[in-house]
Structure 1
Amino acid sequence: MPGVKEKEYKKLPGISAPGIFVYSKLYLAKDHLLRVSNIGFSEDYKRFFFKDIQAITLRKTATAKIISYVLAGLIALLATAAILFSGDGTILYSSIGGFFLIILVINLLRGATCVCTLKTAVQIETLGSLGRLPRARKVLARLQPLIAQAQGGELTPEEASSRMQELAKPPGEENFSAPPIASDMLAFIEPPVEPPPATI
């Protein structure tokens, strides 16, 4: 991280790489999160101070399941082809099937996919590096006490209920003047989205 003192920051797990030479990472500082986005040879820095964070939400998605279904279908087709063909054909189809099997195992081990968003009084940002649910939960568990400490304590049940209703409003109806959210209501998980049947 050029221009940033390394000892002041600790890299959090995860990386978002939506394209070639395009990626973002999260770093933890004493009083804020730092998101470093790389686009080609340029870097962009954005800080989210703990005292300003109103909510960090997780929404489970079906992307990982869909990927698994597609890979499983491809593996089944390649296994069938390996059985039907002999000689070099068997070796070729088995090798390709083994490659897809490795990808399938890695996808399963990484866990469910999710969308993680961070909300302050003036913005809502997607944290792309927290795109896997197990990793995102670990990071949020680490952030929760830091945000609670920065905001001076816990929310009462009434405040938590009010804040949940506020977050449930459509984007056009959001009230950005709502008080910050802290600690136990920092994150919530929406019901999982069931993927459509896979078609090969």
Structure 2
Amino acid sequence: MAKKKKYKRLGRGSTLIQAFYLYDAEDHLLMVNGSFTEEYRRFYYQDIQAALIKNQVGKMVFLILLLLALLGGTAISLSAGGDFVPFALVLGLPALIILAWGLPIMLTGGFCKFYLQSEVQNMEIPPVKSVKKARKIISLIRERTAEQERQMPPPSPAAGRVLPPVLPRG
């Protein structure tokens, strides 16, 4: 009977029609892309050649400008008083939501796109959107690859020798 692998969820993300999950197993990362059907991608630790973090400064600047506009509109509406107080609530509520969601990400390094590169593919990992989480996954990859290298048997002395090519006679 096959031994069941234990998975630990590392992250999740979603768009309007897709959900992404990233799981950790002993020897690989598993990314699940679920929309109407599920697609599974395995990234074995020994196959990962690089993990790339691409900062998204534009996304953070947009979020800050949007937040400032909402807070500014709220302040103007509250200072005008009277009939403008409901308008302040309409602007203030999205500002609080953006602040509660975006501030922790901004304070821990900002937004990013995360890529894993192997010999055959370079793929974006959508569940990882913050620099802090990307760094955590990179350290996990380093730990797991070092662990796997320690478990490998030492190379035999014959493995390092190269035999000369055989030349045709004639």
Give unmatched runs, 5+ long, in structure 1: 154-200
Identify unmatched segments of 5+ residues in structure 2: 152-170
Q: Which residue matches 1:60? A: 55
Q: Which moved more, 1:94-103 or 1:42-51?
A: 94-103
Q: How many residues align?
A: 144
**3-state SS in 1 of match to 2:15:** strand
TM-score normalised over the length of structure 1: 0.65
SS in 1 for 2:128: coil
Q: After the TM superposition, which residues 35-74 of structure 1 pair with which residues of structure 2 at under 5 Å, given as runs? A: 35-39=31-35, 41-62=36-57, 63-74=59-70
- Alignment of 1:102 onto 2:97: yes
Could you tell which deviates more after superposition, 142-151 or 112-121?
Answer: 142-151
Q: How many Å separate the matches in 2 of 1:142 and 1:50?
A: 10
1:137 to 115, 135, 138: 135
1:16 aligned to which of 13, 17, 39:
13
Tell me how far apart the structure 1 counterparts of residues 7 and 149 of structure 2 sit (CA, whole Å): 21
Other-structure match for 1:32: 28
- Aligned identity (percent) is 28
- Cα distance in 2 for residues equivalent to 1:64 and 1:130: 16
User: What letter is aligned with 2:129?
Assistant: G
Match of 2:103, SS? helix
SS at match of 2:14: strand
Higher relative contact order (CA 8 A, sep 6+): 1
Q: Please list the CA deviations of residues 84-118 of structure 1 after superposition, one character each: whole Å capped at 9, or x if unmatched.
A: 1414x313413531331232232011230011110
1:19 Cα deviation (Å)?
1.9
How far did 1:148 drift?
A: 2.9
Structure 1 residue 44 displacement after superposition: 0.5
Moved more, 75-84 or 117-126: 75-84
Q: Contact conserved, 2:77 with 2:87, CA < 8 A, in 1?
A: no
